[in-house]
Amino acid sequence: MDNTYKITTYSDADTIEVAQNLESEKFPNMVICLNGDLGSGKTVFTKGFASAMAIDEITSPTFNIIKEYVGELPLYHMDVYRTDGKVEELGLEEYFNKGGVTIIEWAEMIEDYLPKERLDITFKITGENTRVMVIKAYGEKYISACEEAL
Distance CA 126, CA 22 (A): 22
Report whether 127 contacts 39 (CB < 8 A): no
For residue 63, the model assigns a pLDDT of 64
Number of domains in the chain: 1
- Residue 142 sits in which domain range? 4-149
Q: What is the pLDDT of residues 88-117, one digit of tens each?
A: 888 888 999 999 999 999 999 999 999 999
The model's pLDDT over 19-71, given as tens digits with 9 standing for 90+, comes to 999 999 999 999 999 999 999 999 999 999 999 999 988 776 556 788 899 98
pLDDT at 60: 65
Read off the CATH number of the domain in which 85 is found: 3.40.50.300
| The overall pTM is greater than 0.75 | yes
